[in-house]
Amino acid sequence: MPRRRPGRPAGRSARGRPGRDCDRGAPPRDVGVAVDPWCGGTVAGPGRRVRRPAVGGRSVRVAGDGRGPGDLARRGVRAGAGGSTIVTGTERPALPVSRVLPAYQQVADQLRSLILSGELRAGDRLPSETELVTQFGVSRSTVREALRALTSRDLVHTRRGVTGGTFVSAVDARQVSAYLETSLGLMSGRDGLGVHDMLEAREILEVPSARLAAERRSEAHLEGLRQALRREVATEGRQGRFVEHRTFHQIVVDAAQNPLLSMMTEPLFRVLEAQFLRPEGIEGYYARVDEEHTAIFAAVEQGDADAAASLMATHLRWLREVYEV
């Protein structure tokens, strides 16, 4: 009795002798469109061609796809009876998963979450590198890369010496304001961020600030506003007068005694000054600014919150018209 090759169904040869379904041109007997791994050539499926598999029928590829069995599984290719491969013509939806982040990023994200949640407070010392390696189960280089990432965000800082180590940084409002100013400067004129957006943001921030300033201002704030008004009148030149006008607005915001408002408005002033300074040559511009500032100061001094907010809104709407010319 002749020996047959192991793994090959009885009565079939490597080249598919007469009598096989593939040689007669008949469709395979499996459900769907099948490719018999022992037949040569290709069999057309619904909307695709399937190449002849490798030896043993283990690897099947869709023509023109250039991907292996894993890709076919995602596209609805499954194993049929007798070692054949069934192309069902359906595509399996992707799982709702996220790509795995690098190890150092996972370590940095966990430490950042502990800082933002208050588990680690400003001034707290982080565990040593050796302790972090043990706790996270990662290499020392991974821990160092994670600490560098946190340092670049000013979340931690390192001190050397006997009492040194890595400590949680205290957030400085000036650093936050400077970072926001830099970001706004880079975005201005691009990504759809223009002078209209910045002036609109000023209205959103400064109109309520004027109302609060009338209710919360101190004598020091009032004196600062008086001096700013005097300097406005005495200063000449577009750049110098703009600085004094900006100072007046900043003191009004400071008088609201909300540090977040001050932190957000100052970067807007600086970017507008650097990139969108336009009032030169507008007749009566400076005289009107001085007049409206004087009216706003009077409302703040008298504690009239409604008038202060209304006057600031009118002033900023007019400034928007000037800048957008």
Chain segment 26-67, per-residue pLDDT in tens = 444 444 444 444 444 444 444 444 444 444 444 444 444 444
* CA-to-CA dists, residue 299 to 17, 211, 229, 308, angstroms: 102, 9, 14, 5
Number of domain units in the chain: 3
Is the domain of 130 the same as that of 266? no
**Percentage with pLDDT > 90 across the chain:** 41
Is the domain of 49 the same as that of 181? no
* Residues 6 or more apart whose Cβ sits within 8 Å of residue 255: 209, 212, 213, 216, 217, 218, 221, 225, 300
Q: CB–CB of 92/98 below 8 Å?
A: no
**What CATH code is carried by the domain that includes residue 254?**
1.20.120.530
16 domain-assigned: no
232 domain-assigned: yes
* CA-to-CA dists, residue 273 to 108, 161, 243, 280, 296, angstroms: 37, 44, 8, 13, 22
pLDDT in tens, 116-153: 999 999 999 999 999 999 999 999 999 999 999 999 98
60 domain-assigned: yes
- Listing DSSP states for 203-247 in one string gives HHHHHHHHHHHHHH--HHHHHHHHHHHHHHHH--SHHHHHHHHHH
11 domain-assigned: no
Q: How many CB atoms lie within 10 A of CB 131?
A: 11
Is the domain of 27 the same as that of 131? no
4 domain-assigned: no
Domain that holds residue 304: 175-323
307 domain-assigned: yes
**What CATH code is carried by the domain that includes residue 107?**
1.10.10.10
CA dihedral 185, 189, 192, 193 (to 10 degrees): 40
Q: Of 148, 168, 188, which residue sits at a domain end?
A: 168
Give the pLDDT confidence score for residue 209 in this predicted structure: 96
Is the domain of 126 the same as that of 75? no
- CA 209 vs. chain centroid, Å, equals 29
Is the domain of 229 the same as that of 284? yes
pLDDT in tens, 237-294: 667 777 888 899 999 999 999 999 988 898 888 888 776 655 555 677 888 999 999 9
Q: Does the pLDDT at position 325 exceed 70?
A: no
Q: Of 32, 53, 87, which residue sits at a domain end?
A: 87
Calpha distance 246→224 (Å, rounded): 13
* Residues 6 or more apart whose Cβ sits within 8 Å of residue 264: 177, 180, 205
Q: Of 126, 153, 168, which residue sits at a domain end?
A: 168
| pTM reported for the whole predicted model | 0.60
7 domain-assigned: no
Is the domain of 216 the same as that of 270? yes
Is the domain of 162 the same as that of 120? yes
CA neighbor of 285 nearest in space, from 234, 323, 246:
323
